[in-house]
Structure 1
Amino acid sequence: MRVRIALAEKGLKYEYREVDLSNKSPLLLIHNGKPICESLIIVEYIDEVWKDRSPLLPSDPYQRAQARFWADFVNKEIYENGRKIWATKGTEQEVAKKEFIQDLKLLEGVLGDKPYFGGETLGFLDIALVTFYSWFLATSA
């Protein structure tokens, strides 16, 4: 989904193929005959190749590093605690729920009053996080 969102933001046409996520190929994007793997790396690649269209990462190196840091946080913390919520039971699940909510509160502080993490337009960190949106309501119950 991250790659599809990035491609849509850039207004790029692409060929979409369904894959079985439990048995997915590591080749998630093939551009000019070359495979690129892992969704956030692909999103960065798309942003670099088509940098003239709706930039996803900030131009400022510090802000770019911050976006990458928080996207890595989403990949590690949000994903792992969300996975524990639906894969465990009892005390482990309750701890994961609390940590998940704390992670979201931390990200909410980063977002502040802005409509998007990067300001006024959808960007890299938004794309990293938005694919987990369906977990938010389910984990707060």
Structure 2
Amino acid sequence: MEEVKLFRTWSSPFGLRIVWALKLKGVEYETIYEDLTNKSSLLLECNPVHKKVPVLLHNGSRICESLVILEYIDETWSTTNRILPEDPLARATSRFWAKFNDEQVFPSFFRYHMSQGRDQEEAKEKFLESLKLVEGYLKGKKFLNGETCGFLDLVFGWMAHYPVAMKKASNLNLLNEEAWPYLSTWMKQFRDIPVIKENWPDEEALVLKFQKMREARGISIPTEK
């Protein structure tokens, strides 16, 4: 019997994409929730380089970094629900956009909501520029992956849930339907997938977490959206 363990935190979108992938593949696994303020010795042993989650432990072998884990899952359990395209060019394109999300889209979104003043304005500009590119990429597609949900949809999947909680926590919103019609349609379709819908973190708990993070940074709630 295979041993599959996933080290993650309940609120991280990076761990959540691994949950979705494992669920889509029908892989049985054990979740080990980590407190990042008091990391377990097992996590530090499994990821001595970055000391971060998520980490996948498969039959004693450890795989780190969420994008790497997604590819490992797809190659290891390759007989069902392939999440990466077979075509080499399409795979390369998916990797490019996934890196774009992790290095630009998500960081600028988070920075916008967790900063003030000039820093916030710079983050807002960068996030909006990123959204324009993602919106353009989605044109003519049902999912970011194409006709079916796949690798890129799991990577960008946080956009279908986390901004709603962040809006409630910060009173800030840059993702409205009128400005981003393709993204909005995709988010609705993505949210309707049973595996996705059944595994979101609790919204109220997320709102509270984001509020506390903003308070810890001394950020006040704006009066206008």
Query: When the two structures are superposed, what TM-score results if normalisation uses the length of structure 1?
Result: 0.90
- 1:3 equivalenced with 2:18 (yes/no): yes
Structure 2 counterpart of 1:78: 105
Structure 2 counterpart of 1:57: 84
Deviation of 1:87 (Å): 2.9
- 1:135 equivalenced with 2:163 (yes/no): yes
Q: How many residue pairs end up in the alignment? A: 141
CA pair 21-115 structure 1, distance change in 2 beyond 3 A: farther
Deviation of 1:40 (Å): 0.9
Structure number with higher relative contact order (C-alpha < 8 Å, ≥ 6 residues apart): 1
Q: In 1, distance between residues paired with 2:17 and 2:144?
A: 16
Unmatched tracts of structure 1, length 5 or more: none
Greater C-alpha radius of gyration: 2
- Pairing of 1:1-141 with structure 2 (within 5 A): 1-22=16-37, 25=43, 26=47, 28-133=55-160, 134-135=162-163, 138=167, 139-140=173-174, 141=225
Deviation of 1:131 (Å): 2.3
Task: Name whichever structure is richer in helix by fraction.
Answer: 1
Range with bigger deviation, 31-40 or 21-30: 21-30
What are the superposed Cα offsets for residues 35-72 of structure 1, whole Å, 9 maximum, x if unpaired? 10011110110001011111111000000000000000
CA pair 31-118 structure 1, distance change in 2 beyond 3 A: same
Q: In 2, distance between residues paired with 1:20 and 1:41?
A: 22
SS in 2 for 1:3: helix
Structure 1 counterpart of 2:182: none
Q: Amino acid of the residue matched to residue 94 of structure 1?
A: E
Deviation of 1:21 (Å): 4.0
Unmatched tracts of structure 2, length 5 or more: 1-15, 48-52, 168-172, 175-224
Q: In 1, distance between residues paired with 2:126 and 2:156?
A: 16
Q: Amino acid of the residue matched to residue 108 of structure 1?
A: E
Q: In 1, distance between residues paired with 2:38 and 2:128?
A: 30
Range with bigger deviation, 110-119 or 131-140: 131-140
